[in-house]
Structure 1
């Protein structure tokens, strides 16, 4: 696993929770569903904006396709991060998956 986190990363409690949840959900999905051999986490921060990206080399999926009943992880994560700026998923069958959450502004409000 490759991890890239800035030495100067500063996260308030709300932002830290969201970063943790994005990382956990993306890594659980890579392990549970995609047969990924490797994954990477990258966090970037500029001013009040924090971006976390989790990539894997797994089997991928069609993000436009309706998820199976009982698959709530990405849906809940999307709802959770929507107020913070949103969740972006890039994937295709056979091409791995990249999940990026951009967290900006005041997360408490």
Structure 2
């Protein structure tokens, strides 16, 4: 019970958003990479142009998605490195989290359903992306790394 309580507290702490008011999403992610994630043994590279200006609700959503994805990497993937990339391609914001871990057999749940996945994190991410009008893809297989990709239409936020 004590170990589960410690783990639950760690998850809650990781989901507490760093200050976005005084820095960009890229800055917040780089700070997490240097501090929280590095101390847990994961080298996270952040490739986000600070010139990408996003509404606060979208920054917060991407921060939460990143935190959930990195929590999964730390807990399940046995990875040593991960890369977070946020960029704009035409009228689409593309967000990826890629790791060099062991991968898994993934079947994404349909938004609004429990789906076949028992991963609460993946269900929450799929639901959040659906609410934003975007698309979530996971490219993975047992024995190789995982790439989580979120595509969001920028026309939704103009």
Provide the rounded CA distance (Å) in 2 between the counterparts of 1:57 and 1:46: 25
Provide the rounded CA distance (Å) in 1 between the counterparts of 2:134 and 2:57: 13
RMSD of Structure 2 on Structure 1 (CA): 2.0
Against the structure 1 CA distance between its residues 39 and 62, is the aligned structure 2 distance closer, same or farther, given a 3 Å change threshold? Answer: same
Question: How do 1:58-73 residues align onto structure 2 when only pairs under 5 Å count?
Answer: 58-64=101-107, 66-68=116-118, 71-73=119-121
Q: Of residues 130, 146, 152 in structure 2, which corresponds to 1:82?
A: 130
* TM-score, structure 2 normalization: 0.61
Max Rg structure: 2
Question: How do 1:27-46 residues align onto structure 2 when only pairs under 5 Å count?
Answer: 27-46=70-89
Against the structure 1 CA distance between its residues 9 and 51, is the aligned structure 2 distance closer, same or farther, given a 3 Å change threshold? Answer: same
Q: Which has the higher contact order (CA 8 A, sep 6+)?
A: 1
Give the strand-richer structure, 1 or 2. Answer: 1
Aligned positions, number: 106
* TM-score, structure 1 normalization: 0.85
Give the helix-richer structure, 1 or 2. Answer: 2
Provide the rounded CA distance (Å) in 1 between the counterparts of 2:149 and 2:61: 12
Against the structure 1 CA distance between its residues 2 and 56, is the aligned structure 2 distance closer, same or farther, given a 3 Å change threshold? Answer: same
Provide the rounded CA distance (Å) in 1 between the counterparts of 2:138 and 2:72: 12
- Where does residue 92 of structure 1 map in the other structure? 141
SS state of the match for residue 89, structure 1? strand
Show structure 2 runs of 5+ residues with no match: 1-43, 109-115
SS state of the match for residue 60, structure 1? coil
How far the C-alpha of 1:6 sits from its partner, in A, is 1.2
Show structure 1 runs of 5+ residues with no match: none
